Structure 1
């Protein structure tokens, strides 16, 4: 397994917090099976047929590696270095060649048109600039490539989930490294200039009420 860590998060806009960085690595490592039981069926559908050069923005501790073909290569853009050990271990377990880049999703450092697919799950909620990330995704995708995503999003107005999102937005963002449960990410993807966009709305059932409204989809260039 090749593993190249490049980039300086301080130079690319990511502030590594030792407490929250470690907490999030441990939290998502422990919660992986729970999240997979809720999101697995849609991951299998959205990530079906991945091949060629696949880039993942924010791969974390490797929750999506089971959905990649054995023997494939993943370029992982992950600025939280506390995630790296778990990500390497997951790549080893699932037979995925990992090219790890310590960078932010707004600035991957990859050449134009170099990826066949870009994938993300539970990432656009926490990036500093979703529009810039989506522009970067489009830049690095080859013609005919696809962006495949599963994200949690703002709930409809007037619902208990929306009220919880509004009430908990500050402690939620502090705990989960800037994660916002109030972003209209479907609109952001639709406005990003992709040639085609397919989106499914669904709900997961967890004790974390602000987190429970989701979208899954594929955008093509």
Structure 2
């Protein structure tokens, strides 16, 4: 490997870390309005939770306040710059958490060990949706649930869809890999859950206003 190649790799690593650090800061400081807009939906979705709860991409911990205190919470968060925000949020709530550095397509959990998997604004950024759903199905107990709220692509051919596709490169950098034009619902329907119920709704935020929320059962 040449010195030029080594310098190039180092620069890419530094650039990637800067992007991840920036995204963690943005999520910690700039998500209050979004959380206010989806509070009622999260309250209705995160009901009857018990046992082992695994959240993929928990970010800075906006969902922690919805969980009962007696669950065993595991968070799989690949962005290490999120971890300090997560711990701070948990400490303020008096909540015990288990943070694991990993990715959604290779979850650090045993087969058939999780009662509920939670994902909010995560599936837009995973590298491989099909592999992620296989992992979710693997770790869920039979009858276990996957709860999700995700922003998705606007309908094909619309002006918003064209905007989403145009801004995708810069959006991915600023959003730690986020795809604003991902057809997540298509992959969900093909994932192999025994039961899938979801609805479309609009959130009051430009570019990523189209959303889905629902429950998939193993």
Deviation per residue, 1:144-183 (Å, 9 max, x gap): 1100000000101233321210211111112112110111
What residue is the counterpart of 2:210 in the other structure?
213
- 1:115 equivalent to 2:120? Answer no
Q: Which residue of 2 aligns with 1:126?
A: 125
**Bigger RCO of structures 1 and 2 (CA < 8 A, at least 6 apart):** 1
After superposition, where does 1:163-202 map in structure 2 within 5 Å? 163-202=162-201
Corresponding residue for 1:9?
A: none
Gaps of 5+ in 1: 1-14
Native 8 Å contact 1:55 1:117 kept in 2: yes
**SS of the counterpart of 1:169?**
helix
Query: Which residue of the partner structure matches residue 153 of structure 1?
Result: 152
Instruction: Assess if the C-alpha contact under 8 Å between 2:116 and 2:146 holds in 1.
Output: yes
Counting matched residue pairs gives 206
* SS at structure 2 position matched to 1:89: helix
Hey, which bits of structure 1, 4+ residues long, moved more than 4 A?
none
Q: Distance in 1 between matches of 2:184 and 2:15?
A: 24
Higher-Rg member (1/2): 2
2-structure distance, mates of 1:157, 1:137 = 28
> What residue is the counterpart of 2:69 in the other structure?
70
Looking at structure 1, the residues matched to 72 and 63 of structure 2 have their Cα atoms a distance apart, in angstroms, of 13
Residue 48 of structure 2 corresponds to 49
User: Does the Cα contact within 8 Å between 1:71 and 1:96 map onto a contact in 2?
Assistant: no
> Retained in 1: the 8 A contact 2:124–2:179?
yes
- Structure 2 residue runs of 5 or longer lacking an equivalent are 1-13
Q: Distance in 2 between matches of 1:219 and 1:112?
A: 17
> Which TM-score applies when normalising by structure 1?
0.89
User: Residue 16 of structure 1: CA displacement?
Assistant: 8.9
Q: Which residue of 2 aligns with 1:204?
A: 203
When the two structures are superposed, what TM-score results if normalisation uses the length of structure 2? 0.90
Asked whether the equivalents of residues 50 and 70 of structure 2 are also in contact (C-alpha less than 8 Å), the reply is no
CA contact (8 A) 1:16 1:80 kept: no
Partners in 1 of 2:174 and 2:100 — Cα distance?
Answer: 24
Residue 192 to residue 137, structure 1, CA distance change in 2 (3 Å): same
Name the CA distance, whole Å, in 1 between partners of 2:99 and 2:75: 5
Give the whole-Å Cα distance in 1 for the aligned partners of 2:71 and 2:32: 23
Q: How far apart, CA to CA, are the structure 1 residues paired with 2:100 and 2:46?
A: 21
| 1:103-143 deviation digits (Å, cap 9, x = unpaired) | 11111121100000000000010011011011100000001
